[in-house]
């Protein structure tokens, strides 16, 4: 594997880590917003979770193809 490909793999793995953290973080943020009766924020955070899950899934698929 070439250096450029290794760098891409490394970057994808770092991105996967970040996306995984986001998938865990935003539901907690939504729960806090719900607890504080800030429904609009809770709804927004849950929408963000869906997007982050999609990002995570895409990166995982890419890693499977490349790995
Ligand atoms: Fe993301």
Ligand 1 centre to CA of 51 (Å) is 7
- For the stretch 2-60, pLDDT in tens is 999 999 999 999 999 999 999 999 999 999 999 999 999 999 999 999 999 999 999 99
Where are any strands of DSSP class E within 4-66?
none
Ligand 1 centre to CA of 11 (Å) is 14
- For the stretch 44-65, pLDDT in tens is 999 999 999 999 999 999 999 9
Ligand 1 centre to CA of 16 (Å) is 9
Ligand 1 centre to CA of 4 (Å) is 23
Ligand 1 centre to CA of 60 (Å) is 13
pLDDT at position 17 is: 98
CB 43 within 8 A of CB 20: no
pTM over 0.75: yes
């Amino acid at each position: 594997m070439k250096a450029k490909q290794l760098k891409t793999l490394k970057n994808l793995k770092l991105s996967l880590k970040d996306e995984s953290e986001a998938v865990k973080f935003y539901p907690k943020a939504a729960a806090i917003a719900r607890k504080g009766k800030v429904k609009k924020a809770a709804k927004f955070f849950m929408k963000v979770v869906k997007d982050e899950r999609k990002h995570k899934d895409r990166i995982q698929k890419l890693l499977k193809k490349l790995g």
